[in-house]
Amino acid sequence: MGTATKGRTFAKLRPNHNIAEKKMKQDNAFAIPPDSPKGRVLAEKMDLLGLEVGALEAFCETMGEPTYRGRQLFSWIYEKGVFDITQMTDLPLDFRGRLAGYARVGHLQPDVAGADAEGTQKIIWRLCDGVRVESVRIPMSRPDGPRRWSLCISTQAGCAMGCVFCLTAKMGLVRQLSALEIVAQFLAAKNLLPEGGRFHNVVFMGMGEPLDNFEAVCRAARILTHPLAAGVSPRRLTVSTVGVASRLADFVREVPGAGVAVSLNASDEATRSRLMPVNRKWSLAHLLDVCRDLPVAERDRITFEYVLLGGENDSEADARRLCRLLGGIRCKVNLIPWNPFPGAPFVRPAGERVAAFREILLRSGLTATVRYSKGVEIGAACGQLADAARLREKGFPLAGGTLRAAPP
Ligand code: SAH
């Protein structure tokens, strides 16, 4: 984190500026129901979760402690996942006592956690204002070996981007998530892992458009990939975007080494504009120019995601156009056969068509993989995440599909 950012954060933390109140407004939006007696007490406190190492250092200084206490706090919270300040045993007792009276470390409770037979689990988090968001935990290894997992995290409740093939889009944007709420999904999901399990990959591909919530997403990504934190290397964290071209390069600079996945989903402007309204603002041609110039390291490649919609964007001509578009960009392509949801006017292409599409990419020298999303049956696959109650409110038909409502 640069000094400028550190300075800004520090200014927010000066005790005389009523830290607790300011931080509550900025960050503190969940965890303990505000109407519970415990919630009322804790609501007066500042939440340390979601703060970067520099901010925690500055915070400790304001409490008259040496700077390195901030790094200790950082690793208690993000590496060890300890939320109870009194249990942070290498901090002096007196400091722990003062800190616990003044601050807290929030956490999330899962509302519903449904798993399928392979272990893919959709976790629904209820935030303190009643808003629900979802994470998906996906097994990356066989059940009999040491278990490695991937975690898909939400960055917004709902989404404003309006992609017509995506269920989250039908919710509209409910609200932004704070850095705290993004990081908390990781820490709380880690606590739900079976003994010895760990997250090998983290993807910001759940609900929402990450680059539409830029500051919080960058902050959360920097926290999760910090060497003193949860052991996720930057290369194992990927942020997926509809292609907010104006923020792409900024993101690569703010979170160096993190993976970038860009959802293309069409091989021509007209189709892309029809499927993804964002294309009317940042065209395919412009987006690809930006991607060509992205300051990614020599060894890294951009991922292009391409949702295959039967009869819409899955022809051989589409595949050949895609090859031409991606010429000269160091990239790989991830094909995602469309995951259904009730009432959508799309079909998933047959396996042979997916294979034929991929074959054309491979023959032109591109790296191309197919992502058959896990968790389709439990509504946990790409593009299937949504709060059923909110969809109902918006008049979206839910009958007979893969969606399940969370209990009220
Ligand atoms: N807003 C971001 C991240 C969330 S969606 C983005 O658009 O990239 C993650 C991926 O799932 C995107 O590539 C998106 O195009 C894809 N997707 C959305 N709905 C889908 C669906 N119903 N089936 C398959 N993939 C879908």
pLDDT above 80 for 49: yes
The listed range with the strongest mean pLDDT (25-29, 32-36, 119-123, 301-305) is 301-305
pLDDT above 80 for 378: yes
Instruction: Identify the pLDDT of residue 408.
Output: 32
Is-catalytic flag, 128? Answer: no
Mean pLDDT for the stretch of residues 9-24: 33
> In this structure, how many other beta carbons lie within 10 angstroms of the beta carbon of residue 223?
27
Residue 299 binned pLDDT confidence (cut-offs 50, 70, 90): confident
pLDDT above 80 for 24: no
- Answer with the residue of higher pLDDT: 391 or 84: 84
> What is the C-alpha separation between 291 and 255, in angstroms, rounded?
16
Instruction: Identify the pLDDT of residue 105.
Output: 94
Instruction: Quote the distance between the C-alpha of residue 143 and its chain's center.
Output: 25
In sequence order, which residues have a C-beta less than 8 Å from that of residue 56 and are 6 or more positions away?
Answer: 48, 70, 71, 73, 74
Token pair belonging to 64: 């008259």
User: Which of 135, 336, 341, 376 most suits a substitution to test ligand 1, by most atoms within 8 Å of the C-beta?
Assistant: 336
> What is the C-alpha separation between 10 and 68, in angstroms, rounded?
15
Mean pLDDT for the stretch of residues 71-96: 95
Cα of 166 from ligand 1 centre, angstroms: 6
Mean pLDDT for the stretch of residues 116-138: 90
Q: What is the DSSP letter of 75?
A: I
Q: What is the mean pLDDT of the chain?
A: 85
Atom of ligand 1 nearest to the CA of 161: 1
Residue 367 binned pLDDT confidence (cut-offs 50, 70, 90): very high
From 134, 181, 209, 312, active-site residue:
134
User: Which of 159, 164, 165 most suits a substitution to test ligand 1, by most atoms within 8 Å of the C-beta?
Assistant: 165
- Answer with the residue of higher pLDDT: 94 or 384: 94
Instruction: Identify the pLDDT of residue 230.
Output: 84
Residue 37 binned pLDDT confidence (cut-offs 50, 70, 90): very low
pLDDT above 60 for 320: yes
pLDDT above 60 for 237: yes
**Could you give phi then psi for residue 136, rounded to 5 degrees?**
-130, 130
pLDDT above 60 for 29: no
Q: Whose CA is closest to atom 22 on ligand 1? A: 383
In tens, the pLDDT along 384-399 reads: 888 888 888 888 876 4
* 176 within 8 A of 156, measured Cβ to Cβ: yes
- Answer with the residue of higher pLDDT: 176 or 120: 176
pLDDT above 80 for 407: no
> What is the C-alpha separation between 379 and 344, in angstroms, rounded?
14
> What lines the ligand 1 site, CB under 6 Å?
165-166, 205, 209, 240-242, 263, 265, 305, 307, 336, 338-339, 382-383
For a pLDDT cut of 70, what percent of the chain falls above it? 85
Q: Whose CA is closest to atom 7 on ligand 1? A: 242
Which residue in this structure is represented by tokens 């919710």? 171
Instruction: Identify the pLDDT of residue 144.
Output: 64
Instruction: Identify the pLDDT of residue 6.
Output: 36
pLDDT above 50 for 8: no
Mean pLDDT for the stretch of residues 62-72: 96
- Answer with the residue of higher pLDDT: 346 or 5: 346
Residue 116 binned pLDDT confidence (cut-offs 50, 70, 90): confident
Residue 36 binned pLDDT confidence (cut-offs 50, 70, 90): very low
pLDDT above 60 for 403: no
Is-catalytic flag, 166? Answer: no
> What is the C-alpha separation between 212 and 162, in angstroms, rounded?
13
pTM, whole model, 2 decimals?
0.86
Mean pLDDT for the stretch of residues 23-38: 37
Instruction: Identify the pLDDT of residue 44.
Output: 66
> What is the C-alpha separation between 179 and 213, in angstroms, rounded?
9
Instruction: Identify the pLDDT of residue 25.
Output: 37
- Answer with the residue of higher pLDDT: 109 or 246: 246
Token pair belonging to 118: 């392979």
Q: What is the DSSP letter of 176?
A: E
